Structure 1
Amino acid sequence: MVEINSEALQAFGFWSSILVIKVLAMAPLTGRQRFRKNVFVTEEDVKALGTGKEPKYNDPDVERVRRAHRNDLENVLPWFIITYLWLSTGPSLWLAKMLIRTFVLARIAHTISYVIIPQQPTRAIVFFVGFIITGYQALSTLLYYS
């Protein structure tokens, strides 16, 4: 195992922090949609908030934000783990910084193209950019440690 380059770790820490803030922002964004549309999924929320409606589980605007949040959780967590392990293989500093930055910017673009300005093929392209980066790092780490 190679010692992780401190500058690469600093870049990982900075960009990962931005990504965590973005993922955390998805929960209030979901709540905002629920309040805006007056859509709640539990009877106690419906009663407490005085909507007078039945719980609703399938509002398209709320579900769009929830799906974007779930997509983040499905993609960001594996990236955090594999990127840290990949950094221990001693990649070039330039490549490490470039892939870390690109992944985070791709995830931000994915959220924008999913929730704020829904559009294809932008959403698919930025999804696959992040997916390919994670896959490359996983394969590279696997080969290094095999």
Structure 2
Amino acid sequence: MDHLSLTNPVFAAYAIAAALMVLKGVAMSWLTVIRMTAENGGFRNPEDMKKTMANPRPHDSQLAPNERVDRIRRIQLNDLENLPYFLVAGLLYVATAPSLLLAQFLFYGYVVTRLLHFIAYYTAQIHDIRAALWTPGSLIIIFMAGSTFVSAVW
């Protein structure tokens, strides 16, 4: 259990990276709300069309697809498809007692790739650019999971 303590610099590095990724993921929900408010649309549910203080003048087009809102939702979905794997693989990787420098490179490298991927997605870059930014993060997860597997088997 000594590995899972903030006195362990490897776990502390993981905790920093994991906290940043959780905050980034949660921020996407807030960004969706901000974008829906700014667009006055992109709502998904019929009950969102009721007149309220937050929606004093509802109209049918508020339920229509809105590309600016949907882009944020797609970014959040991408996070939901990727961040859990990092959180689990990173935590398991800590248990292998890796070198601090390698762990920091992997953890912080993942954070950087996800932030760059967000910027590329948010600014509507082509798939090739987004894929080039996604790939290193995916390889980091594969490396950590593979290293954990090998350490557990041997």
* 8 Å contact from structure 1 (residues 26, 65) kept in 2: yes
42, 45, 48: which one aligns with 1:45? 48
Q: Percent identity?
A: 29
* 8 Å contact from structure 1 (residues 3, 90) kept in 2: no
Deviation sequence 1:33-77 (CA, Å, 0-9, x none): 212222211122122313222552532221111011011111111
* 8 Å contact from structure 1 (residues 43, 54) kept in 2: no
| Paired positions, count | 144
* 8 Å contact from structure 1 (residues 43, 55) kept in 2: no
* 8 Å contact from structure 1 (residues 3, 88) kept in 2: no
TM-score normalised according to structure 2 size: 0.85
How far, CA to CA, are the matches of 2:124 and 2:61 in structure 1? 28
Which letter does structure 1 place at the counterpart of 2:143?
A: Y
How far off is 1:26 after superposition? 0.4
TM-score normalised according to structure 1 size: 0.89
Alignment of 1:1-146 (within 5 A): 3-4=2-3, 6-39=8-41, 40-47=43-50, 48=52, 49=55, 50-53=57-60, 56=63, 58-115=65-122, 117-120=123-126, 121-146=128-153
Task: Supply the RMSD in Å over aligned alpha carbons.
Answer: 1.8
Unmatched segments (≥5 aa) in structure 1: none
